């Protein structure tokens, strides 16, 4: 048999595989791959689709999926690029103008909308000031919807008319909620909503007016991506694209973390796939040592023998991966059906990518983990047909395993698109495996001495472990990895949720009060105390624009589309404070202890992210344009800010006593328990110039998103748990034959069932406890790295992880006894048959 054509080798492999299909190890390998691919596919789909649904939810805050915003009207080609692709379009024009009525004038922020606005979410309005809200609709031509505070400021009521430029509009409803208003609390002027059809008639918009044009788009994600690509490169200097992540910082943060979490869970599934496949592939190879030796005797070359088995595995892997992907797809369909009431009615389908990733994962795991045992098959000496004790030369598989890890790392990276997370998991896992595996091996070896005088069930159970300490250590590591993965997922779930919850406590401020005049400051604070509102301090606000850094114009210094770019495009709310505000933490520099210098510029504290985007360092000199007046300040500290805390937050905080003399208004946020609406109305009436924004709706929306994320996270945890258990059983299956033989023999020799059960419990209990111990140690190691480098959370030891050894003993012990029950029930007669 000198030359065997490839096709004949394939045919031979297929025939052998079909014949082998009934062999238990082939089934176990198939099952392990099936479970692994199904789990990672299902989680992949679940994550992708849920993410889509959450994006959809988040897009409400933008009133669209994508917004093209600029200070000049979009070009016809930019609009065509969207409409020709079938995207739904709405136009919004925003500007500040004086609104006039008989009683007086009021500077207002006017928003002209077309009838299809908003594309996501709904407007809400009331028929009377502070009356009950109804969703939907919008102002017809000739009409205006206005905020109640405009009515208060001008002493008008609904039905009266106002003039916007040269156009007279009749006020028909009180505007209470705009979906895309939420992202911008600091609009200081009352809102007037009008129909875009009336815009030209106002004559307000002239060349040079400060106007914001917003073109809103809604459509399928892939079409939106196409649109973005088509438009992005030709954006004018004053234009930029906003997506859901820009809509609102709070939502963006929650989404980002949820996405990371889901990615983590799919990485765990990949690791489980590896464990499952490694367990069953090594058994597959072990059981083919004889056959391989025989084939070598019959004249097959090493490479042909190796090729034959590789082909069999490849065929098996392909079928299992395809079936697994189908199963995973069906599983997530079922999951979404279960969650129907809780999710938006339209959940995006998710495409084929998760299925392909699942299949790829399975195949790469198979290749990576099955290769070393398979390589041993090629090295079986033919003499083994005569001497069964001859084993192949011990494989020097560092290189092969290295390649496997590399491939696995690639998949993980592809899945998470996050090198840091991948390295943390892979590196942490490997270091933990090496360290803990070594420790375990040592521990097992020393146990051998204890064994001599122990009772029979202990010796049987321990003996089973100690017969091949290396295999036992490997098994403990494998189960440990599963426990570790599950613990990690559970741990991160709890901590992420706690973190979110901590940022949104029950009494998070649900109102913002803006435009408080300096002489209204004390009376307003007094009124808040009277109605038992929990209030943040009152901060002065002075609108000002950052113009120069170290005497260089900022426009030249910032990169487009960055946080810094956005910040210098508009007025920033500048403030001063003696104390560091709550929820802020200094990351660099010192908070001021001394009064500002008499001869130099005062100090300013800058928010750290903005500082990074503007490449600011301590000591840099900033120049601001405040109402035409130029003021300078030197950067003295950088602060991190919890943007999702619903407290007033500022990019720039000046030293006290440095901005006095400039026109300032004050702002604060406060919490009023539900049911105090009349207090808010009374407050508005008492201080008509003060803008009171209710953010209950935003808070509620944020909470409901968090609730969904929580739910998703819990379901994903269930998936990982199920996959882990399935893999555990697959691992046990691999040792079943040997156990059945032993069980039958012990029974023939007169052992009762109780003894066998006891020995099994001891064996698996010990294995589980060792796995749990490894998992606890590994979990601490990995969380430490993850918290520190990936999630930016504070790390503290988790003493409850010490229940893992117990949990492992119960779980692995229970599953072990259950998974090998066939061995307990084996008829002793089989020892006579199996000769």
Of the residues 345, 396, 526, 835, which one makes contact with other proteins according to CB under 8 A: 835
* 196 within 8 A of 114, measured Cβ to Cβ: yes
Question: Is 466 or 497 the residue whose CB approaches other proteins more closely?
Answer: 466
SS3 243: strand
Calpha distance 821→819 (Å, rounded)? 6
Of the residues 337, 393, 598, 749, which one makes contact with other proteins according to CB under 8 A: 749
686 closest CA partner among 540, 520, 536, 534: 520
Strands 167-177 and 143-146, bridge-based pairing: parallel
3-state secondary structure 407-447: HHHHHHHHHHCCHHHHHHHHHHHHHHHHHHHHHHHHHHHHH
Question: Is 598 or 749 the residue whose CB approaches other proteins more closely?
Answer: 749
End-to-end CA distance of the chain: 33
Name the strand (E) or helix (H) holding 169: strand 167-177
Of the residues 753, 797, 800, 803, which one makes contact with other proteins according to CB under 8 A: 753
Give Cβ neighbours of residue 633 (< 8 Å, ≥ 6 apart).
601, 602, 603, 604, 621, 622, 624, 652, 654, 655, 658
Cis amide prior to 118 (ω within 30 degrees) = yes
Tell whether residue 467 is a contact of other proteins (CB under 8 A).
yes
Question: Phi and psi of 603, rounded to 5°?
Answer: -95, 150
Of the residues 752, 788, 802, 818, which one makes contact with other proteins according to CB under 8 A: 752
Q: What part of residues 764-793 is at the interface with other proteins (CB under 8 A)? A: none
Contact letters for other proteins, residues 417-456 (x by CB under 8 A): ---------------------------------------x
Tell whether residue 476 is a contact of other proteins (CB under 8 A).
no
Tell whether residue 762 is a contact of other proteins (CB under 8 A).
no
CB of 767 to other proteins, least distance (A): 14
Q: How far is CA 756 from CA 175, 732, 742, 813, in A?
A: 76, 16, 10, 13
Tell whether residue 560 is a contact of other proteins (CB under 8 A).
no
Of the residues 603, 751, 767, 815, which one makes contact with other proteins according to CB under 8 A: 751
Calpha distance 46→338 (Å, rounded)? 12
Contact letters for other proteins, residues 680-719 (x by CB under 8 A): ----------------------------------------
SS3 234: coil
Q: What part of residues 793-832 is at the interface with other proteins (CB under 8 A)? A: 827-829, 831-832
Tokens of 148: 């109640």
Give Cβ neighbours of residue 595 (< 8 Å, ≥ 6 apart).
655, 657
Tokens of 322: 């395809």
Question: Is 14 or 456 the residue whose CB approaches other proteins more closely?
Answer: 456
Give Cβ neighbours of residue 218 (< 8 Å, ≥ 6 apart).
59, 64, 65, 87, 88, 119, 120
Question: Is 471 or 585 the residue whose CB approaches other proteins more closely?
Answer: 471
CB of 824 to other proteins, least distance (A): 11
Q: What is the DSSP letter of 595?
A: P
* 186 within 8 A of 541, measured Cβ to Cβ: yes
379 closest CA partner among 309, 307, 308, 305: 305
Question: Is 222 or 738 the residue whose CB approaches other proteins more closely?
Answer: 738
From the list 168-176, 674-682, 693-701, 746-754, the region that binds other proteins by CB under 8 A is: 746-754
Tell whether residue 833 is a contact of other proteins (CB under 8 A).
yes
CB of 753 to other proteins, least distance (A): 6
Question: Is 218 or 761 the residue whose CB approaches other proteins more closely?
Answer: 761
Question: Is 389 or 792 the residue whose CB approaches other proteins more closely?
Answer: 389
Tell whether residue 3 is a contact of other proteins (CB under 8 A).
no
Calpha distance 307→305 (Å, rounded)? 5
Tell whether residue 9 is a contact of other proteins (CB under 8 A).
no
Tokens of 157: 């009521």
Tell whether residue 469 is a contact of other proteins (CB under 8 A).
no
CB of 458 to other proteins, least distance (A): 11
Name the strand (E) or helix (H) holding 134: strand 133-135
Q: How many residues form the binding site for other proteins (CB under 8 A)?
A: 30
Of the residues 464, 503, 605, 708, which one makes contact with other proteins according to CB under 8 A: 464
Of the residues 466, 490, 504, 557, which one makes contact with other proteins according to CB under 8 A: 466
Tell whether residue 742 is a contact of other proteins (CB under 8 A).
yes
Of the residues 725, 755, 793, 810, which one makes contact with other proteins according to CB under 8 A: 755
Of the residues 750, 794, 796, 799, which one makes contact with other proteins according to CB under 8 A: 750
Tell whether residue 390 is a contact of other proteins (CB under 8 A).
no
* 179 within 8 A of 119, measured Cβ to Cβ: no
Tell whether residue 222 is a contact of other proteins (CB under 8 A).
no
CB of 752 to other proteins, least distance (A): 5
From the list 81-89, 235-243, 268-276, 462-470, the region that binds other proteins by CB under 8 A is: 462-470
Contact letters for other proteins, residues 628-657 (x by CB under 8 A): ------------------------------
Give Cβ neighbours of residue 67 (< 8 Å, ≥ 6 apart).
214, 215, 216, 217, 241, 242, 243
CB of 478 to other proteins, least distance (A): 20
Tell whether residue 754 is a contact of other proteins (CB under 8 A).
yes
Tell whether residue 761 is a contact of other proteins (CB under 8 A).
no
Of the residues 460, 528, 695, 770, which one makes contact with other proteins according to CB under 8 A: 460
Tell whether residue 386 is a contact of other proteins (CB under 8 A).
no
Give Cβ neighbours of residue 551 (< 8 Å, ≥ 6 apart).
621, 623
Chain-centroid distance, C-alpha 233: 29
488 closest CA partner among 170, 272, 305: 272
Question: Is 7 or 749 the residue whose CB approaches other proteins more closely?
Answer: 749
Of the residues 142, 395, 463, 596, which one makes contact with other proteins according to CB under 8 A: 463
Q: What is the DSSP letter of 160?
A: -
Tell me which residues touch other proteins (CB under 8 A): 389, 456, 459-460, 463-464, 466-467, 738, 741-742, 745-755, 827-829, 831-835
């Amino acid at each position: 048999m000198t030359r065997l054509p490839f096709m004949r080798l394939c045919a031979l492999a297929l025939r052998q595989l079909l014949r082998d299909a009934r062999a238990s190890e082939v089934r176990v390998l198939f099952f392990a791959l099936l479970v692994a691919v199904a789990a990672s596919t299902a989680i992949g789909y679940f994550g992708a689709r849920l993410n889509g649904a959450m994006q959809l939810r988040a897009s409400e805050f933008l009133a669209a999926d994508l917004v093209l915003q600029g200070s000049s009207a979009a070009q016809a080609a930019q609009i065509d690029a969207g409409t020709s692709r079938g995207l739904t379009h709405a136009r919004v024009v925003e500007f500040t103008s004086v609104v006039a009525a008989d009683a007086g004038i009021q500077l207002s922020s006017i928003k002209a909308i077309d009838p299809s606005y908003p594309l996501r979410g709904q407007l809400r309005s009331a028929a009377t000031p502070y009356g009950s809200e109804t969703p939907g609709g919008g102002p017809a031509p000739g009409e205006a919807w206005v905020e109640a505070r405009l009515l208060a400021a001008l002493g008008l009521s609904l039905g009266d008319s106002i003039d916007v430029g040269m156009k007279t509009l009749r006020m028909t409803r009180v505007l209470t909620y705009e979906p895309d208003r939420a992202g911008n609390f600091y609009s200081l002027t009352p809102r007037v909503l009008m129909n875009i059809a009336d815009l030209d008639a106002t004559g307000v918009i002239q060349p040079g007016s400060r106007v914001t044009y917003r073109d809103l788009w809604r459509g399928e994600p892939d079409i939106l991506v196409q649109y973005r690509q088509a438009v992005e490169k030709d954006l004018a200097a004053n234009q930029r694209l906003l997506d859901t992540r820009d809509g609102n910082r709070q939502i963006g943060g929650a989404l980002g973390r949820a996405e990371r979490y889901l990615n983590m869970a799919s990485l765990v599934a990949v690791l489980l796939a590896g464990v499952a496949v490694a367990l069953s592939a090594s058994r597959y190879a072990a059981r083919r040592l004889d056959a391989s030796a025989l084939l070598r005797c019959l004249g097959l070359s090493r490479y042909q023998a190796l090729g034959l088995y590789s082909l069999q595995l490849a065929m098996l892997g392909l079928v299992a991966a395809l079936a697994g992907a189908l199963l995973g797809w069906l599983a997530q369909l079922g999951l979404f059906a279960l969650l129907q009431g809780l999710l938006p009615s339209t959940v995006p389908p998710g495409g084929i990518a998760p299925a392909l990733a699942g299949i790829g994962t399975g195949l790469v795991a198979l290749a990576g983990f099955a290769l070393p045992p398979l390589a041993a098959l090629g090295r079986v000496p033919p003499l083994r047909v005569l001497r069964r004790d001859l084993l192949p030369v011990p494989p020097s598989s560092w290189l092969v395993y290295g390649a496997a890890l590399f491939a696995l790392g690639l998949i993980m990276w592809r899945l998470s698109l996050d090198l840091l997370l991948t390295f943390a998991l892979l590196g942490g896992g490997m270091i933990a495996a090496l360290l803990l595996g070594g420790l375990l091996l040592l521990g097992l070896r020393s146990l051998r001495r204890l064994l001599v005088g122990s009772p029979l069930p202990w010796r049987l159970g321990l003996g089973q472990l100690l017969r091949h300490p290396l295999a036992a250590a490997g098994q403990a590591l494998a189960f440990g990895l599963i426990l570790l993965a599950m613990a990690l997922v559970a741990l991160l779930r709890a901590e992420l949720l706690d973190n979110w919850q901590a940022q949104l406590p029950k009494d998070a401020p649900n109102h913002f009060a803006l435009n408080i005049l300096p002489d209204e400051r004390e009376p307003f604070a007094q009124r808040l105390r009277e109605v038992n509102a929990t209030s943040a301090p009152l901060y002065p606000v002075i609108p000002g624009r950052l113009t120069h850094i170290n005497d260089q114009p900022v426009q030249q210094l910032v990169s487009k589309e960055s946080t810094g770019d956005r910040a210098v495009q508009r007025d920033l709310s500048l403030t001063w404070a003696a104390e560091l505000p709550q929820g802020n933490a200094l990351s660099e520099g010192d908070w001021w202890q001394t009064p500002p210098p008499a001869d130099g510029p005062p100090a300013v504290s800058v928010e750290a992210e903005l500082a990074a985007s503007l490449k600011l360092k301590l000591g840099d000199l900033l120049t601001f344009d405040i109402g035409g007046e130029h003021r300078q300040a030197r950067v003295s500290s950088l602060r991190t800010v919890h943007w999702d805390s619903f407290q007033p937050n500022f990019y720039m905080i000046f030293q006290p006593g440095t901005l006095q003399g400039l026109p300032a208004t004050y702002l604060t946020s406060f919490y009023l328990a539900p049911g105090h609406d009349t207090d808010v109305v009374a407050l508005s009436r008492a201080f008509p110039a003060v803008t009171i924004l209710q953010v209950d709706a935003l808070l509620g929306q944020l909470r409901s998103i968090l609730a969904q994320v929580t739910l998703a996270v819990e379901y994903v945890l269930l998936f990982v748990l199920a996959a882990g258990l399935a893999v555990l059983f697959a691992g046990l299956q691999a040792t079943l034959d040997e156990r059945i033989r032993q069980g039958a023999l012990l029974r023939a020799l007169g052992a009762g069932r109780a003894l066998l059960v006891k020995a099994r419990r001891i064996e698996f209990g010990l294995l589980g406890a060792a796995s749990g111990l490894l998992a606890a140690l590994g979990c601490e190691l990995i969380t430490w790295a993850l918290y520190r480098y990936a999630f930016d959370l504070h790390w503290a030891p988790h003493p409850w992880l010490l229940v893992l050894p117990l949990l492992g003993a119960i779980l692995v012990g229970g599953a072990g006894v259950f998974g090998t029950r066939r061995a307990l029930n084996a008829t002793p007669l089989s020892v006579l048959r199996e000769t």
